[in-house]
Structure 1
Amino acid sequence: MSDLTGRTVLVAGATSTSGRVAVQTLRAAGAGVIAVGHDPVKLEALAAQVDAAGTGAPWMTPSCDLADEQAVHGLADRLHAGGVTVDGVLHLVGGWRGGGGLAGQSDDDYRFLERSLTGLRFVSRAFDADLRASDAAREAIVSSVSVRRPLAGGANYAAIKAASEAWARALAQGFAKAARDAERPLAAASVVFRVKALAGLEQTLADRFVALWDADAADVNDTVIDLTA
């Protein structure tokens, strides 16, 4: 397993099954983890599950509405005030709503799905300086193979995932440009993981995310990794 001792990774949307597995895998690799969710009750349940699974690197479970820009920047400010900066971000805020063909693509469903993109935008901006200052930073999102072939019944979902991928690729270009402008090797990478369905791939996702630190940033920045292949 990769050695992430001394690294700190923020897991956004950590109260899902994939979040719990990611937290456990990151801690086992030696990384300190900031497991963020908006529901304190679910965070308490996550803490009980992770602590019961065994020891690992230090971690915390701050509650934050990731779709609230002020709240996200407040979280970043609190962490920075405590001397905490991050070397990695894994975005797991998501969900599915769809079906019913194009006529079934309601605005309510779109707004629900849009929260994942909103959270990605706010978190990546709030911690961008941290990642650029790190000597080995990795940021990743989970997208969908539906981006390659959108269906009418999943138009809202595919549109949000496509926009999220565009944002992740923009992050990658920003990392590359900052390194070029500073005339230094690229140390930060933004990666897209695609799945057909995340259920059953939680450990694969966690392992592949941790393994990003074993690769040179230039080799993985602005790449799309299909976990269903």
Structure 2
Amino acid sequence: MTGSEGGGGHGPGPLTVLVTGGSGASGIAAARALSAAGHRVATVGSDPSRIRQAAEKAGDRVTPFTCDLAVLEQVRRLRDDVTAAFGTVDGVIHLVGGWRGAKGITDQTDDDWDFLERGAVTTLRNVSRVFFDDIAASATGRFAMVSSTSLAKPTAAVASYVAAKAAAEAWTLAVADGFRRAAEAGTGQAAASILVVKALVDDDLRRAHPERKFPGATDVADLAAAVVRLFGTPSTELNGARLLLAG
């Protein structure tokens, strides 16, 4: 697929959606569901081989790109590459994060914090800054991240994790305010949303741990279906919303 096939959802035709964290189970599921819904999908990972294999699993309309999203200059080059191939994007589904835990407050390590801050916060900041104007200009612009129900009642064992997720949520809500101001100025109808889960589960995880029941977990296929619904739901219902996905 080349850029000659369309310029994204700023005009007629299918939308162009960027899925970050595309090598993981949730990224593959989201890319597959968006592709099945008729959208052009650019999926992003940091490992060239893994993201190519993931894109093949997700479907023919899914194109892989390699980028370290924690490096701003690489994200800027990613935008140039995606725009050259498909035109400007209409949406970004941000599925990069990671998890680290501990026993309590005193053993929360700096290494774990650096990992979580880089994965959950820095990548989101970079992607949202670089792609903000494109999404804001789209008639169906969407930005979404995945967060955790644990933010409602943080525990000592996951202090670093919930703090990083809280920062990512706050940034996303600020993006939502930016989209609101753009819409009031007559630019697009974009929305930024937070998809909230207790945990995510997929078939491979179930096979690897047949003894576990995964209570309250959301299947990645259900997350993917929620992602697709974002593009068919009015922005006024989504912008700044925390959407709880029941397990």
TM (normalized to structure 2)?
A: 0.84
* SS of equivalent to 1:104: coil
Write the distance in 1 (CA, Å) between the matches of 2:48 and 2:16: 21
Q: Give the one of 176, 191, 194 matched to 1:192.
A: 194
Give percent identity, aligned residues only. Answer: 42
Aligned counterpart for 1:32 among listed residues 18, 40, 45? 40
Deviations along 1:13-36, one digit per CA (max 9) or x if unpaired, are 110000111010000000100100
Q: Which residue of 2 aligns with 1:225?
A: 243
Aligned residues of 2:83 and 2:89 also touching (Cα < 8 A): no
CA distance in 2, matches of 1:222, 1:120: 16
Shift of 1:132: 1.1
Partner in structure 1 of residue 110 of structure 2: 107
Distance 1:50 1:223 in 2: 28
Deviations 1:166-210 (A, max 9, x none): 01100110000111123x6x6111000111111142111111111
Q: CA deviation at 1:154?
A: 0.2
Render the CA deviation track for 1:113-169: whole Å, top value 9, x for unaligned.
Answer: 112211101011111111011111111000011111111010000001100110110
Aligned pairs for 1:110-189 within 5 A: 110-115=113-118, 116-182=120-186, 187-189=189-191
CA contact (8 A) 2:46 2:67 kept: yes
Shifted more, 76-85 versus 164-173: the winner is: 76-85
Distance 1:197 1:85 in 2: 32
Q: 2: distance between equivalents of 1:175 and 1:122? A: 16
Q: Contact 1:36 / 1:63 at 8 angstroms: preserved in 2?
A: yes
- 1:210 match: 228
Amino acid at match of 1:192: I
For 2:140, the aligned partner's letter is A
**Alignment partner, residue 19 of structure 1:** 27
Give unmatched runs, 5+ long, in structure 1. none
For residue 85 of structure 1, give the secondary structure of its aligned residue in structure 2. Answer: coil
Measure how far apart 1:219 and its partner are.
1.3
Count residues in correspondence. 219
In 1, Cα distance between equivalents of 2:13 and 2:37: 7
The ranges of structure 1 where at least 4 consecutive aligned residues each deviate by more than 3 angstroms after the TM superposition are none
**Mapping for residues 77-92 of structure 1, pairs under 5 Å:** 77-82=80-85, 84-92=87-95
Q: RMSD of the TM alignment (CA)?
A: 1.6
Please report how far the alpha carbon of residue 5 of structure 1 lies from its aligned counterpart in structure 2 after TM superposition: 5.2
Tell me how far apart the structure 2 counterparts of residues 120 and 12 of structure 1 sit (CA, whole Å).
10
- 1:150 aligned counterpart, secondary structure: coil
Shift of 1:44: 2.4
Residue 28 of structure 2 aligns with an amino acid whose one-letter code is: R
- For residues 223 and 238 of structure 2, the distance between their equivalents in structure 1, rounded to whole angstroms, comes to 15
- Cα distance, 1:82 vs structure 2: 4.1
Match of 1:78, as an amino acid?
D
Q: Which deviates more from structure 2 when the two are superposed, residues 104-113 or residues 72-81?
A: 72-81
Checking the alignment, whether the CA contact within 8 Å between 1:98 and 1:104 is kept in structure 2 is no
Q: Give the unaligned 5+ runs of structure 2.
A: 1-11, 202-217
The two structures have a TM-score, normalised by structure 1, of 0.91
2-structure distance, mates of 1:142, 1:207? 14
SS at match of 2:243: strand
Please tell me whether the aligned partners of residues 95 and 145 of structure 2 are also in contact (alpha carbons under 8 angstroms).
yes
Alpha-carbon shift at residue 68 of structure 1 (Å): 0.5
